[in-house]
């Protein structure tokens, strides 16, 4: 079963331009926008946690990461009104990433 969303999700103005896929590499790219949504481009499937398809309605979508959208999982621009703030890049490495990196590069080697 698939669901469709009738409300038009909001995309940042440069969402289609930044990281535009030129047909050479159509893998999904997920970009956390500064103070905004997760922009998903490329070849992706959107499913709910039960595995049901969610019709994205377009090839580039904005997924809410502020929690304020009225059309979750899509962004509706509510992050602007709520003053949501988050960097684009990670503010610090995930602890698991450090542990994995140290396991691959034991101290004293190199
Ligand atoms: S990130 Fe845009 S409404 Fe949540």
pLDDT at 16 over 80: no
Q: How many CB atoms lie within 10 A of CB 72?
A: 13
* Ligand 1 atom at minimum distance from 80 CA: 2
- pLDDT for position 52: 98
What pLDDT score does 61 carry? 97
**Cα 12 to averaged position of ligand 1 atoms, centre (Å):** 11
Determine the pLDDT at residue 101.
85
Fold that domain 1-110 belongs to in CATH: Ribosomal Protein L9; domain 1 (3.40.5)
Task: Tell me the pLDDT of the chain averaged across its residues.
Answer: 85
Q: Report the SS3 class of residue 82.
A: helix
pLDDT in tens, 64-83: 999 999 999 999 999 999 99
Residue 73: is the preceding peptide bond cis (ω within 30°)?
Answer: yes
Q: For 7-18, what is the mean pLDDT?
A: 68
Break the chain into its structural domains and give their ranges.
1-110
The DSSP line for 43-83 is B---B-TT--EE--SSSSEEE--SS--TTTTB--SHHHHHT
Give the global pTM.
0.74
Tell me what percent of the residues of the chain surpass a pLDDT of 70.
80
Whose alpha carbon is nearest atom 2 of ligand 1? Answer: 75
Block residue for tokens 């190199």: 110
């Amino acid at each position: 079963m698939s669901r469709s969303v009738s409300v038009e999700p909001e995309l940042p103005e440069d969402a289609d331009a930044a990281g535009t896929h030129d047909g050479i590499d159509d893998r999904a790219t997920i970009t956390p926008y500064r103070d905004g949504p997760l922009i998903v481009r490329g070849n992706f499937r959107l499913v709910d946690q039960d595995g049901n398809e969610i019709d994205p309605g377009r090839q580039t979508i904005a997924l809410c990461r502020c929690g304020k959208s009225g059309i979750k999982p899509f962004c509706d621009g509510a992050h602007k009104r709520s003053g949501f703030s988050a960097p684009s890049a990670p503010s610090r490495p995930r602890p698991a990433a450090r542990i994995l990196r140290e396991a691959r590069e034991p101290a004293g080697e190199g």
